[in-house]
Amino acid sequence: MGRHWMKPGLLLALLSATQVNCAVNPATGQRQVSLVSEGQEIAMGEETAAAAKAGIGVYGDSGVQRYVRNVGLRIAAVTERSGLPWTFTVLDDPQVNAFAAPGGKIFITRGILAYLGSEAELAGVLGHEAGHVTARHTAQQITRQQLFGVGLIAGAVFSSAVANNIGAISQGMGLLFLSYSRGDETQADELGFRYSRRLNYDPREVAQTFATLDRVSSLSGARVPTWASTHPDPGDRYTKAQQRAATVPLDSLRASIADRDRYLQSINGIVFGINPRQGYFEGTRFLHPDLRFRLDFPSGWTTQNQAQAVTAVSAAEDAILQLSLGGTQSPETLMQQFSAQQGVQTGTTQRVSVHGQSGVTAEFRASDSQNNQLAGRVMYLSYGGSTYQLLGYTLAARYGTYSSAMSDAMQSFDQLTDPAALNKQPVHLHLVRLPRAMTIEEFNRQYPSSVSFDIIATINGVTAGQTLPAGYQAKRVE
């Protein structure tokens, strides 16, 4: 949340012939100067949605998808921009996160669903994201950047032109990351409160969401969960959410909706945490049980596993290494296609054998739109009926620093044979209806989980020592 993605090329193309518009926003009541039309918002949102689905992946449970979509569409119907092509999608991501793309494309992760405790809490999160759309926060940020000359790709490690030229680089490296201001976040909270109340959801549940986020932050140590990383402090938002709830007449509060049981039944059985069947890390070693391979990334590099690629970025954030599926064509054919791309000059192609897997490799050079010179190595290996691409690159002046680390990582590609790794399975969230009242500690002892006690307390919305009533549907992870 607070972060949305779009390709710079699309954004710049859309803005190339844009007129300045000034109108009162029906959601905020504020007059807004905008360089982005509603049609352009929708086009940006479609592009962003496609990138998010491809780069992260859509959660495969149709029941969860249907439930979230139905709640989201009810919220969209009571907004001031109900005519947008709204969609609500659950991403297969263990992080606690949700975000909005312009034009009504809303995403929420399975990771945050495990921590929410009611339909009213879900509506609060989705309503907040809808508020970003109705307030046109993305369009306003783009307008400010254009009017004040702020570079649109300042947050990228390298320019999008390079990503387009050398191809098959991680989607994330070719996407534009924009963060909302704290004022935008507060405004989205207020709009989310408005939309939830229009559907008679209990506003006290939204306050509980922020309390849970605060606890998730403490579970992560110094690392704030993604949903809160660019937002006001969850504790402050909890206080403000309580203040908003206090403005609702008591009779209305008593008649408001929480729908805890229906929400919990919808997420019963959801995958919790990282799904190792899609690949997982042990330190900087990446293991993929289903595809039966492993790869050692350089020590000290920051790694990330996404649906389309596994990437590692150097500690200085000036070099990238990526593993992805190149396709079913031969390594030689894919190398020819890579070399034929405009702006890419490859050196001599060499045949290689890496732990019995045959392939080809070559060094290459490329230039970005600012004429910065890049250098790197690409390798294509045949394995298990597919061809894998291993790609590493950096600024040409730094290639000598990283070439050995990149080559060593590529040479580490090997078959995964460890039975423990091959049989590693995901854990799931399950419900237990309590036969009697018990403290969260008693519950954890009687129904042990495969995660820490602190996580069990947090996903159940309680702290140490609190008692869960008889008949309560408690969450465990097994």
In DSSP notation, 233-285 reads -HHHHHHHHHHHHHTS-HHHHHT-B--HHHHHHHHTT-EES--GGG-EEETTE
Q: Quote the Cα angle for 96-99-169, to 5°.
A: 90
Which of 74, 105, 88 shows the shortest CA–CA distance to 196?
A: 74
> Higher pLDDT residue, 291 or 228?
291
Whether 466 shows a pLDDT value over 90: the answer reads: yes
> Higher pLDDT residue, 100 or 439?
439
Which of 120, 128, 67, 121 shows the shortest CA–CA distance to 257?
A: 120
Range in 317-321, 347-351, 413-417 with the lowest mean pLDDT: 317-321
Whether 409 shows a pLDDT value over 60: the answer reads: yes
Give the rounded percent of residues in the chain with a pLDDT score beyond 70. 83
**Whether residues 210 and 116 fall in one domain:** yes
Distance of CA 151 to the CA centre of its chain: 23
Split at pLDDT 50, 70, 90, the class of 235 is low
Range in 3-17, 231-245, 341-355 with the lowest mean pLDDT: 3-17
Whether 165 shows a pLDDT value over 60: the answer reads: no
pLDDT in the model for residue 20: 56
pLDDT in the model for residue 277: 95
Whether 271 shows a pLDDT value over 80: the answer reads: yes
> Higher pLDDT residue, 2 or 310?
310
pLDDT digits (tens, 9 = 90+) for 75-84: 999 999 999 9
pLDDT in the model for residue 150: 37
Whether 155 shows a pLDDT value over 80: the answer reads: no
**What's the whole-number mean pLDDT along residues 106-113?**
96
The token pair at 161 is 């032109």
**Whether residues 343 and 473 fall in one domain:** no
pLDDT in the model for residue 231: 55
Could you tell me the CA-to-CA distances from 78 to 81, 83, 464 in Å, in that order? 8, 10, 39
Query: Residue 128 carries which side chain, given as an amino acid letter?
Result: H
**Whether residues 379 and 454 fall in one domain:** no
> Higher pLDDT residue, 229 or 380?
380
Split at pLDDT 50, 70, 90, the class of 469 is very high
The Cα–Cα gap between 145 and 376 comes to: 32
The structural domain count of the chain equals 3
Q: At which of 219, 235, 267 does a domain end?
A: 267
pLDDT in the model for residue 55: 81
Split at pLDDT 50, 70, 90, the class of 166 is very low
pLDDT in the model for residue 164: 38
The token pair at 40 is 């352009």
Whether 264 shows a pLDDT value over 80: the answer reads: yes
Whether 386 shows a pLDDT value over 60: the answer reads: yes
Give the rounded percent of residues in the chain with a pLDDT score beyond 90. 61
pLDDT in the model for residue 143: 59
Split at pLDDT 50, 70, 90, the class of 244 is very high
Q: At which of 242, 267, 292 does a domain end?
A: 267
**Whether residues 159 and 110 fall in one domain:** yes
**Whether residues 83 and 140 fall in one domain:** yes
The token pair at 270 is 């959801």
**Whether residues 199 and 86 fall in one domain:** yes
**Whether residues 20 and 148 fall in one domain:** yes
**Dihedral sign computed on CA atoms, order 25, 29, 31, 32:** negative
pLDDT in the model for residue 237: 82
Query: Can you give the three-state secondary structure of 23-75, one letter per residue?
Result: EECCCCCCEEEECCCHHHHHHHHHHHHHHHHHHCCECCCHHHHHHHHHHHHHH
pLDDT in the model for residue 16: 47
**Whether residues 52 and 131 fall in one domain:** yes
pLDDT in the model for residue 464: 95
pLDDT digits (tens, 9 = 90+) for 200-229: 999 999 888 888 888 887 775 434 455 454
The token pair at 241 is 């959410």
List the CATH number of the domain containing 418.
Answer: 3.40.1000.10
pLDDT in the model for residue 17: 45
Residue entry with tokens 């929480």: 258
Whether 419 shows a pLDDT value over 90: the answer reads: yes
How close are the terminal C-alpha atoms of the chain, in Å?
28
**Whether residues 415 and 455 fall in one domain:** no
pLDDT in the model for residue 141: 72
pLDDT in the model for residue 168: 35
The token pair at 328 is 């079913």
**Whether residues 334 and 417 fall in one domain:** yes
**Ramachandran assignment for 2, one of left (phi > 0), alpha (psi -120 to 50 degrees), beta (any other):** left
pLDDT in the model for residue 179: 62
pLDDT in the model for residue 13: 47
pTM above 0.85, yes or no: no
The Cα–Cα gap between 83 and 153 comes to: 31
| Contact criterion met (CB below 8 Å) for 176 and 6 | yes
Q: At which of 202, 232, 267 does a domain end?
A: 267
pLDDT digits (tens, 9 = 90+) for 127-140: 999 999 998 887 77
**Whether residues 180 and 327 fall in one domain:** no
Split at pLDDT 50, 70, 90, the class of 333 is very high
**List of residues 6+ apart from 260 with CB closer than 8 A:** 117, 118, 119, 473
**List of residues 6+ apart from 27 with CB closer than 8 A:** 79, 80, 81, 131, 134, 135, 191
pLDDT in the model for residue 346: 95
pLDDT in the model for residue 453: 96
On average, the pLDDT of the chain sits at: 85
Whether 11 shows a pLDDT value over 50: the answer reads: no
- State which residues form the domain around 462: 427-477
Whether 172 shows a pLDDT value over 90: the answer reads: no
Whether 6 shows a pLDDT value over 80: the answer reads: no
Range in 20-24, 204-208, 321-325, 419-423 with the lowest mean pLDDT: 20-24
> Higher pLDDT residue, 54 or 354?
354
**Whether residues 448 and 408 fall in one domain:** no
